[in-house]
Structure 1
Amino acid sequence: MNVDGMSYRQWQKRNTDTFQQLTKAQQQAARQQGYRNVGWQQIQQSWKVLQQLMRPLSLFDAKLKKGDLSGAIGQSILEAEQAQEVAQQGISNLKRKHSQVQELAETALNKYQLL
């Protein structure tokens, strides 16, 4: 039986190889989250657990982990500025669409008289 083009043994080996790349603390966390590399259901669930643990850290988290507090604060400020820019673009788009809707409404009201 194959799932996603891989056999049971291939899934099991991939999980084992990935699990061994984790730190001891991450391995313990994986076990607590249900990592168990025996049986189809457990192997597939274990892969999901491993993927969550292997997700790359955000730049902010990576800087904090290294002890670069000023870099983490700078990254946080940069992300806040980017979020503010996106919000401003959203506001301007909403204003533009609002004026378009108002123009359409005025056109419709002028074209058709109220009873």
Structure 2
Amino acid sequence: RNSWCVELKNRNLRAWHNDRRVDCRGVGQSPPQSVGVWVNYNKGQLMFYDANTMAVLQKFSAAMTPVFDRAHHQFTEPLYPAIRFLKPTENQEWMSHLEFCHLHSV
């Protein structure tokens, strides 16, 4: 199973790849309001970034992984977005909406 995601939980932003948690880089004291996803399908690269500041939050690439993981880091099938709303902890509001925006292809 190949999966990549970002998770905002208790104001902490984390990235996940194949059920392994990775703390995100580039996150200041407040989490981003908008998260962008950049994909280079042919090179097997995926990056999450703060869409307002363009700061890289986390990137995944076959070149950055150990040799035994590289075969699993190439895209061999179509990619699909998946969204999950987690139950908020006490004193937090439920998320009211989520919006997908297609900016442009490079």
Is the structural similarity TM-score above 0.5? no
Max Rg structure: 1
Kindly indicate which of the two structures has a greater share of residues assigned to helix: 1
TM-score band, normalised by shorter chain: under 0.3
